[in-house]
Amino acid sequence: MDILVCARRVPDTSENEIALNSAQNDIERDDLVYSVNEPDNYAVEEALQIVQRTGGEVTVVTVGGEDDEEILRREMAMGANHGVLISDGAFMDADGKSIARILEAFVKKGHYDLILTGVQAEDGAAQVGGMLAALLDYPFASLVSSIEVLDGGKLKIGREIEGGNREINEIDLPCVLSIQTGINEPRYVGMRGIRQVASVPIPTLGASELGVVPEAPKVRRTGYFLPPAGKGAAMLSGNREEMASKLIEMLRAKGGLN
Amino acid sequence: MPPIFVYVPHNGGSVDDTAFELLAAAHTMAGPEACVTAVAAGWGAELDAVCEQLRASFDEVWELAQGALVYPNAELVRQALAAVLPRGCILLVPHNHFGVDLSPGLSIRMNSVYVSDVLEIEGLEGDWLKLVRQEFGGQVSTHVRCDVSAGAVLNVRPGAFQPLEGPAVSGQVREVAVGPLTARRRYLSTIAAEAGDVDITKYKILVSIGRGIQEPDNIVIAQELADILGGAVSCSRPVVDAKWLDKSRQVGSSGKTVKPKVYLACGISGSFQHLSGIKGNPFLVAINKNPKAPIFRVADVGIVDDLLEFLPELTNKVREERGVPAK
Amino acid sequence: MHILLFAGFLILALRAFALLIYGIDAKFIMPGGPIYGVVRDYAATVVFFVATAAAVRRIAFRPGRFGKDRSADAIFLLALIGLLMAADAVFEGARAAAQHEPVTFLSLSWMAKGALLHASAPWQRNFYLGAYLVHGLTFFFLLCYRPFGIQFHVETSLFSIYFAKLDRGQLKPVRWGVPDAHIDQVKSFGVKTFEDFTWKHMLDFYSCADCGRCSDQCPSNTVGRPLSPRLFTIKARNYCFQHYPVTGRTGNGEPLIGAIYSEDEIWSCTTCGACEAECPLLVEYIDKIVDLRRGLVDAGRVPQMLQKPLKALESRGNPFGKMEKKRAGWANGVAPVLNGNGNRAGTLYFVDSITSYDERIQSIGRATAKVLGRAGVDFGILGAAERDSGHDARRFGEEMLFMALRDYNTQAIRASGVSRIVTADPHAYNALKHDYRDVPPVEHISQTIAREVRSGKLRLQPLEDSAAVYTYHDPCYLGRHNQVFDDPREVLDAIPGLKRVEMSRCRDRSFCCGGGGLALFYEPKEEERMGVRRVRMAAGAGASVIVTACPFCMVNIEDAIKVAGMEGTMSAIDLVELVEQQTAGD
């Protein structure tokens, strides 16, 4: 089975402190550490595990610029067979749909049985997978937490729904799935692995090679701001002991303590 | 203003709360006089009951009934909606596991724009609708504009709008025929979450831990506090992903929904997926080292401190108050 | 017991050869005749009773460490030794009885003579010949059986000890003889199959005498983690016997992890070195564990809980993922940052990651800086230019990450122009001393303080609280690995009014606190925390304060005090914090 994983390089939100820059029009990007979007990493691991069972190759593609090559190398160090960078000045302001159209053009140039994306990236949009599926006219499922390959070009997948329940579906190949974190335990990629792929050439494709005519984005982010504190929390003050005492009083008042 | 539709999820014959929140969102966008149509898909008596319920608040209710739709399969619902909705309309959908499955593809089918997880609707400026959403797990907000000249599918965050019931205008229920649907994705079954040793939904007091617990060894600190308060330890997603606690302890959109009286969010940043699992407006106390953590915006009381230091202090103080000798 | 067996073995080796010659020439007289005869007789007697006692102990009074079924092999061996002695004694005794010769008093032969004195001559002869045959058969059987049991250690230990590493502080490189610059040429890192072990390590497996002292001392084994050093070696030895028999097909390149070891077993080791320190045959363990970890890292099989700090080390230079520019945030002005231009100093205070970023441990950093100041040391820190020493990245198998950190730090250290390094972190100390090359000499802060106390520069004031009883916990990487035991004790004893007790497991027998560096992030299955064990040992020795000289020990011990519920009765303080307290302030 040949699998394509669409990945993205994002600021690592768990350890970075996201703050606004001094001009208040973007986040402060100077000290940010970037890495591959976590759900995308799970998707690559899942793809690697599937081809280990079924045979085939894993390709990782990203839409971006030179800086984004590093995540392709990381995923190739993990075991992906190919990495492809799609880069063109005209793609700079791409919104979700534009990226989906770019990926659609790329998918049509090759042949993939299964396409995986991460469930969402740092913008929380969770849209590219579903859009890509609709453009390709492939069936789609989001929040996938388990994949079993069946005979006859089908998959049995589990989706994570509310209450911690799992929805089991059967889906026809080729299809697009967006992968949820926790589906597997991604293998470790050490410095040695990365060094070994450091000089592997990564093909870069532009708008003309793909035959994509860029369209003006119809969804635009016009500015970042810190949400107003609003009523927010009543912040306790004082040293630790004092705060603990105050909290206990409040808990008692709310009936949480007896 | 293009026609506005609200997709209504339902279960067991009753309408999901989000329907009325989205109705409010629709009116925020289009004005209090706007005609808003509810769309519900399903089958049989349950669907009928749902549409009856919706009549009281929506000007029009479209009932999309077909046997194949008895279970809400986003692949089929998408085909159905794409077939019946007028091009150029604005469709509001709640942003949850179903909305995420349905909407992005639907917007492509309808050739309209898509915006997910909308928090606020600021207004329409010509063809451009101005919205507010968040990024980076809620750490920053963004202003977004989208071109709705060809319509839009908007996923609205549950709880972002206050539900609107009524007006008293009696709505009309219209049965709308849906053509044949091809099922390239077929629903098989639902596996309920494993019970786990502790049912957190039964507890009135929850001491909930997030990434800030740092290592599983520290969970005992939360357990001690929970024990002395007569509550249970619950957690957010990262703790379960790291396999430090069982999934049955997870509070959130992909975990359990809880309705405690007191909820102590310790070392939890406050992503909306987590918060959406907390219902019933409990006394929410947030303890977090990071003064800018989004949780402080929604908590009732906030304490900026390291939970690893604060919780033991709190536990000891409670012990003192009760006359139990400190350990 | 073993000394008696071994000494007897040496003495009787001659006897065995003499017996062989007797078989050819009955008139052969041993050189050294009667004297040797007496010595030999007593030796044989002693060996017989010792072997019996050892067998009885194995069967009836088994010490815990002997575990399950290792005994069959050992008992069989002891039985054979006993049989040899008995046969020899009967041989001698029978002849002495028949020919009325004297025999050494109260020896085994003497007993045999006594028993056969009244037997008929033909029977005496039968016993004589029979005993000779039995002795001969047993002797040759044992000779052939030796390589298949634990007896083999008698031969191989000579070589395994001879070829043991001389520089014990030096960790085995990825491949001996391959310099760092050529490391990319090595196809596979670490040990994945048995054949990846070096010949010396394989010799170690043959040389293990299965005594179990290593597992006795191993803290992981004591707290119920899946690791037992003895079983680690014995399993490898059994694998070796199975796959490399005398006849038949050899080898099969099966991955060891899965076949004989579990991943948990390999990650459970804290590299404390207690096993190596205890082994009478100088079997090396740490190198093997590190090699197995290198193999796992190479294959991507790293537990999720370790992946995060390793990634953070790579991207941020510290396992916590905190920002580089905040590395010197702890200093609060007490430590100048060396930047080569305006700020230069003779001594570098290498802080390392935990002291830089952990709020509790930052106080140790500040105390260290203050004490250095009071001792009149001209020092500075690297600040944001410092990266993690890489000590534990290396011992957890990420050799290349370690090299990257080492090279980065080496450059920064050399650029700073210092001629001396001092650190309060024993892991950093060990790394700078053994893993780094071309850096100025390094010492641990306890050594600095001891020297300045001796010279009188640092005057330690009397302790106010005379009720407290102090005990010093030897950190593994300061004590056992680097033999720094006395300096910290000297410093403590120089504080007037300080009452100090020693735990029974102290110095090179110290009990690991739980592990430092990346070990802090790994959660094994265990019955109890090592730190909790250690804190109870301190309480058992009568102490109310544990003094330690390592930030990781401090984290583990303070944690353990909470978990053990000993918050009112036990506290912990770092040596430097104590010294800072007891010296005049500024």
Its domain, for residue A44, covers 3-210
| B104 falls within a domain | yes
Q: Cβ contacts (< 8 Å) between C304 and chain B: which residues? A: 242-243
Instruction: Name the residue facing B303 among A163, A224, A243 (closest C-beta).
Output: A243
Number of domains in chain B: 2
How far is C-alpha C36 from the chain's CA centre? 40
Touching subunits for chain C (3+ Cβ pairs under 8 A): A, B
| B250 and B165 fall within a common domain | no
Its domain, for residue B134, covers 4-175
C210, C74 in Cβ contact below 8 A?
yes
Closest CA of chain B from A35, distance in Å: 14
Closest CA of chain B from C369, distance in Å: 25
Closest CA of chain B from A8, distance in Å: 14
Residue of chain B whose alpha carbon sits nearest to that of C360 = B309
B116, B158 in Cβ contact below 8 A?
no
| A227 falls within a domain | no
Cα–Cα distance list, B84 to B35, B174, B179, C233 (Å): 17, 12, 9, 72
Q: Which CATH class is domain C323-452?
A: alpha beta
C323 touches chain B (CB under 8 A): no
The helix (run of H) or strand (run of E) holding residue C495 is: none
A64 vs A87: CA distance, rounded Å: 5
| B9 and B134 fall within a common domain | yes
ipTM, two decimals = 0.89
Q: Is B160 helix (H, G, I), strand (E, B) or coil?
A: coil
A211 vs A131: CA distance, rounded Å: 19
pLDDT of residue B10: 92
C523 touches chain B (CB under 8 A): yes
Q: What is the count of residue pairs from A and B with beta carbons less than 8 Å apart?
A: 255
B105 touches chain A (CB under 8 A): yes
Query: Is the four-CA dihedral C57, C62, C64, C67 of positive or negative sign?
Result: positive
C555, C517 in Cβ contact below 8 A?
no
Strands (E), chain A: 3-6, 9-11, 34-36, 58-63, 82-86, 114-118, 140-150, 154-160, 166-172, 175-179, 204-205, 219-225, 234-235
Measured N-to-C along each axis, helices A240-253 and B307-322 cross at an angle, to the nearest 10 degrees, of: 60
Q: What is the count of residue pairs from A and C with beta carbons less than 8 Å apart?
A: 56
User: Can you name the CATH fold of C159-298?
Assistant: Fumarate Reductase Iron-sulfur Protein; Chain B, domain 2 (1.10.1060)
Q: Is B250 helix (H, G, I), strand (E, B) or coil?
A: strand
B155, B100 in Cβ contact below 8 A?
yes
Residue of chain C whose alpha carbon sits nearest to that of B214 = C521
Closest CA of chain C from A216, distance in Å: 36
| B184 falls within a domain | no
Q: Do B145 and A220 touch (CB under 8 A)?
A: yes
C158 vs C142: CA distance, rounded Å: 19
The enclosing domain of A83 has a CATH number of 3.40.50.620
The structure tokens 């100041």 sit at C373
pLDDT of residue A231: 63
Average pLDDT over residues B229-236: 92
- For C37, residues 6+ apart whose C-beta sits below 8 A from its C-beta are C30, C104
A135 vs A143: CA distance, rounded Å: 19
Q: Is A188 helix (H, G, I), strand (E, B) or coil?
A: coil
Touching subunits for chain A (3+ Cβ pairs under 8 A): B, C
The more confidently predicted of residues A253 and B284 is B284
A190 touches chain C (CB under 8 A): yes
Q: Is B251 helix (H, G, I), strand (E, B) or coil?
A: strand
The enclosing domain of B288 has a CATH number of 3.40.50.1220
B325 pLDDT more than 80: no
Instruction: Name the residue facing B302 among A129, A170, A233 (closest C-beta).
Output: A233
Amino acid identity at C515: G
A5, A145 in Cβ contact below 8 A?
no
**Apex C118 CA angle, C114 and C119, nearest 5:** 105
Q: Kindly state the tokens that stand for B60.
A: 């029009």
The structure tokens 């591959």 sit at A36
Q: Cβ contacts (< 8 Å) between A31 and chain C: which residues? A: 323-325
| B23 and B155 fall within a common domain | yes
C156, C199 in Cβ contact below 8 A?
no
B3 touches chain C (CB under 8 A): no
- For B79, residues 6+ apart whose C-beta sits below 8 A from its C-beta are B178, B181, B182
Q: Do A256 and B283 touch (CB under 8 A)?
A: yes
**Which residue, among B76, B80, B38, has the nearest Cα to B56 in the 3D structure?**
B38
B193 pLDDT more than 80: no
A173 touches chain B (CB under 8 A): no
| A191 falls within a domain | yes
B304 touches chain A (CB under 8 A): yes
pLDDT of residue A3: 98
A33 touches chain C (CB under 8 A): yes
Q: What is the count of residue pairs from B and C with beta carbons less than 8 Å apart?
A: 21
Instruction: Compute the CA torsion angle C418, C423, C429, C431 (nearest 10 deg).
Output: -60
A229 pLDDT more than 60: no
C359 touches chain B (CB under 8 A): yes
Closest CA of chain C from B265, distance in Å: 22
Q: Do A164 and B107 touch (CB under 8 A)?
A: no
The helix (run of H) or strand (run of E) holding residue C367 is: helix C359-374
| A229 falls within a domain | no
Alpha helices in C30-99, H assignment, sequence order: 33-60, 71-99
Average pLDDT over residues A193-198: 91
Task: Identify the top-confidence range among A26-35, B159-168, B171-180, C365-374.
Answer: C365-374
C212, C65 in Cβ contact below 8 A?
yes
B241 vs B271: CA distance, rounded Å: 15
Instruction: Name the residue facing B327 among C520, C529, C567 (closest C-beta).
Output: C567
Residue of chain B whose alpha carbon sits nearest to that of A96 = B114
Strands B232-235 and B205-209 come out as parallel
Evaluate if pTM is beyond 0.80: yes
Q: Do C523 and B216 touch (CB under 8 A)?
A: yes
Domain end point (choices B135, B159, B175)? B175
C407 vs C540: CA distance, rounded Å: 45
A230 pLDDT more than 70: no
Q: Cβ contacts (< 8 Å) between C321 and chain A: which residues? A: 12, 14-15, 33
Where are chain C's structural domains?
2-148, 159-298, 323-452, 457-582
Instruction: Name the residue facing A187 among C300, C310, C323 (closest C-beta).
Output: C300
Measured N-to-C along each axis, helices C359-374 and C445-455 cross at an angle, to the nearest 10 degrees, of: 30
- For C190, residues 6+ apart whose C-beta sits below 8 A from its C-beta are C174, C196, C291, C292, C293, C294, C295, C296, C297, C298, C397
Which of C264, C305, C526 is the best mutation test for B, with the most CBs of B within 10 A? C305
The structure tokens 């001389």 sit at C166
B321 pLDDT more than 90: no
B217 touches chain C (CB under 8 A): yes
| B111 and B159 fall within a common domain | yes
| B103 and B140 fall within a common domain | yes
B185, A170 in Cβ contact below 8 A?
yes
**Which residue, among C193, C177, C165, C173, has the nearest Cα to C400 in the 3D structure?**
C173
Residue B35, judged by CB atoms within 10 A of its CB (0-12, 13-18, 19+), counts as middle
C314 touches chain A (CB under 8 A): yes
Q: Do B220 and C563 touch (CB under 8 A)?
A: yes
Q: Do C323 and A195 touch (CB under 8 A)?
A: no
The helix (run of H) or strand (run of E) holding residue B220 is: helix B219-229
A249 vs A253: CA distance, rounded Å: 6
Q: Do B257 and A162 touch (CB under 8 A)?
A: yes
| B152 and B224 fall within a common domain | no
A255 touches chain B (CB under 8 A): yes
- For B129, residues 6+ apart whose C-beta sits below 8 A from its C-beta are B29, B121, B123, B145, B146, B148, B152
B134 pLDDT more than 80: yes
| B142 falls within a domain | yes
**Which residue, among B135, C432, B185, has the nearest Cα to A168 in the 3D structure?**
B185
Measured N-to-C along each axis, helices A128-136 and B97-109 cross at an angle, to the nearest 10 degrees, of: 40
Touching subunits for chain B (3+ Cβ pairs under 8 A): A, C
Residue of chain A whose alpha carbon sits nearest to that of C404 = A191
Q: Cβ contacts (< 8 Å) between A182 and chain C: which residues? A: none
Q: Do A13 and B139 touch (CB under 8 A)?
A: yes
Residue C73, judged by CB atoms within 10 A of its CB (0-12, 13-18, 19+), counts as middle
Q: Do C304 and B326 touch (CB under 8 A)?
A: no
Cα–Cα distance list, C135 to C20, C21, C36, C313 (Å): 10, 13, 19, 64
Residue of chain A whose alpha carbon sits nearest to that of C306 = A188
The enclosing domain of B49 has a CATH number of 3.40.50.620
- What does R_g of chain A's alpha carbons equal in angstroms? 22
Give the CATH number of domain C457-582; options: 3.20.20.140, 3.40.640.10, 3.40.50.10700, 2.130.10.30.
3.40.50.10700
Number of domains in chain A: 1
User: How many distinct helices (H) and strands (E) make up chain A?
Assistant: 7, 13
Alpha helices in A110-211, H assignment, sequence order: 128-136, 191-196, 207-210
pLDDT of residue C180: 87
Measured N-to-C along each axis, helices C121-145 and C71-99 cross at an angle, to the nearest 10 degrees, of: 150
Centre a 10 Å sphere on the Cβ of residue A139 and count the other Cβ atoms it contains.
Answer: 22
The structure tokens 């301190």 sit at C538
**Which residue, among C199, C197, C272, has the nearest Cα to C430 in the 3D structure?**
C272
Q: Cβ contacts (< 8 Å) between B304 and chain A: which residues? A: 235
Strands A154-160 and B113-118 come out as unpaired
C341 touches chain B (CB under 8 A): no
DSSP string, B191-204: EPPP--S--GGG-S
Q: Do A230 and B303 touch (CB under 8 A)?
A: no
pLDDT of residue C342: 67
pLDDT in tens, chain C (586 residues): 778 877 887 888 777 777 778 777 777 766 666 777 788 888 888 888 888 888 887 777 766 655 555 567 777 888 888 888 888 888 888 888 877 777 777 777 778 887 887 778 888 888 888 888 888 888 888 888 877 777 788 788 888 888 888 887 889 999 988 988 898 889 899 999 999 999 999 999 988 888 889 999 999 999 999 999 999 999 999 898 888 877 777 777 789 998 999 999 999 999 999 999 999 999 999 999 999 999 999 999 999 889 989 999 999 999 988 889 899 999 988 888 887 666 788 999 999 999 999 888 999 999 999 999 999 999 999 999 999 999 999 999 999 999 999 999 999 999 998 999 999 999 999 999 999 999 999 999 999 999 999 999 999 999 988 889 999 999 999 999 999 999 999 999 999 999 999 999 999 999 999 999 999 888 788 888 899 999 999 999 999 999 999 999 999 999 889 878 898 899 999 999 999 999 976 5
Instruction: Name the residue facing C316 among A33, A187, A191 (closest C-beta).
Output: A33
Residue of chain C whose alpha carbon sits nearest to that of B217 = C523
Q: Do A187 and C298 touch (CB under 8 A)?
A: no
Specify the DSSP class assigned to residue C434.
Answer: I
